[in-house]
Amino acid sequence: MQFSIIVPTYARPRRIAACLAGLAALDYPRDGYEVVIVDDGTPGGLELDLSNYRQRLNVRVINQKHAGPAEARNRGAQEAAGEYLAFTDDDCVPDPIWLKAFAAAIAAAPGDLFGGRVINVLDSLYSQASQDVVSYICTYYDGMHGRPRLFTSNNMVLPAAAFRDIGGFNTSFERAAGEDREFCDRWVAAGRGSRYVPEAVVHHAHSLSFAGFCRQHFHYGRAAVRYRQIRAARRGERMRVERASFYWDLLRFPLVDDRSFRGGGRAVLVGVSQALNAAGFYWETLRQGSRKGR
């Protein structure tokens, strides 16, 4: 078996059902991949009828106590039978040629880490602005000019043995924020290669209200503190943040492909996201400082 697709899920039965339907429609030999769903302690258990998929999918569900997506992905990797691990999320639907695109890239560089393209599919300014932030950061950290490549954990493939050797995702990130960035940084620091595969697309349907948008980016800021602390310790340097030009280009990013009123709204929300990110960053910094002072 070439691929084990790892999908963490928590209390989103409709989303995981849509994800499974997409995985069942992959244009790839049925015996070439399995699907490992890790239920991260959904209250009352995950309500999912697998009988509709077993004719088309090699699928199983693993249950664990609620511990966060990093722990769930690691648990799935431990149970996986495939030579390569393919990570996606329960609110994502891969394109039919998703695995074929990764398989072609693997043939050229079998030991590398691979990441694909993520496209927001919801008609929501909050969802699109959030995807704008992530897409810009991945574009900025493109492996050029000394910047390590970054892939998000909802569209990532790598050798299973290498994933286990490097220690998997850092489980000190209890929320879905920062663990993929830290993993990619650690992977590059270990001298391992990485490649972007734009043909490997997943369609992301992460529904956000304004309150959800605010919570998400505040938590991104908190996770950034942990990520930068780990990176600084590994490199033996002081914790640093990006230059001002990084944030200026981020604010302009939504307007590159959309100069309409909607693009302007996305740019405003990106600005709001960075204010929330900064608030989360300094809140976490102060919280850690107060704990050390006790």
Query: Does the pLDDT of residue 16 top 80, yes or no?
Result: yes
Q: Where are the alpha helices (DSSP H) in 141-260?
A: 160-166, 179-189, 210-235, 244-252, 254-257
Average pLDDT, the chain: 92
- The mean per-residue pLDDT over the stretch 90-97 comes to 97
Tens-digit pLDDT profile for residues 134-167? 999 999 998 777 788 999 999 999 999 999 999 9
Distances in Å between the Cα of 71 and the Cα atoms of 63, 168, 187, 218, 241 are 12, 9, 18, 21, 27
Confidence band, pLDDT 50/70/90 cuts, at residue 292:
low
Domain range 3-207, CATH architecture: Alpha-Beta Complex (3.90)
Q: For residues 227-244, give the mean pLDDT.
A: 85
Comparing CA positions, the residue from 221, 126, 215 lying closest to residue 181 is 221
152 vs 97: CA distance, rounded Å? 19
In this predicted structure, what is the pLDDT of residue 190? 92
Query: What pLDDT score does 257 carry?
Result: 81
Considering only residues 81 and 148, tell me which one the structure prediction assigns the higher pLDDT: 81
Q: Which amino acid is at 70?
A: A
DSSP codes of every residue in 67-94: --HHHHHHHHHHH--SSEEEE--TTEEE
> Residue 114: what pLDDT?
98
Structure tokens at 34: 């399995």
- pLDDT of residue 79 exceeding 90, the answer is yes
Model pLDDT, residue 268 = 96
In this prediction, residue 241 has a pLDDT band, given cuts at 50, 70 and 90, of: confident
Give the model's pLDDT for residue 240.
Answer: 79
Residues 6+ apart with CB under 8 A from 11: 42, 43
Q: Domain residues of the chain, as ranges?
A: 3-207
Query: What's the pLDDT score for residue 288?
Result: 85
> Looking at per-residue confidence, does 144 or 19 come out higher?
19
The confidence score (pLDDT) of residue 267 equals 96
Residue 126 class from Cβ within 10 Å (0-12 exposed, 13-18 middle, 19+ buried)? buried
Q: Stretch 57-75: mean pLDDT, rounded?
A: 94
Question: How confident is residue 279, by pLDDT bands cut at 50, 70 and 90?
Answer: very high
Whether pLDDT at 64 is above 90: yes
Q: Given this model, what pLDDT does residue 147 score? A: 81
pLDDT for position 185:
92
Contact 39, 10 (CB under 8 A): yes
Higher pLDDT residue, 242 or 268?
A: 268
Give the three-state DSSP class for 45.
Answer: coil
pLDDT score, position 293: 60
* pLDDT tens digits, one per residue of 156-200: 999 999 999 999 999 988 777 789 999 999 999 999 999 999 999
**What totals of helices (H) and strands (E) does the chain contain, helices first?**
10, 8
Task: Kindly state the percentage of the chain with pLDDT values over 70.
Answer: 99
**Per-residue pLDDT at 294:** 58
Structure tokens at 222: 């908190």
Task: Say which amino acid occupies 224.
Answer: A
Tell me if 133 sits within 8 A of 221, measured CB to CB: no
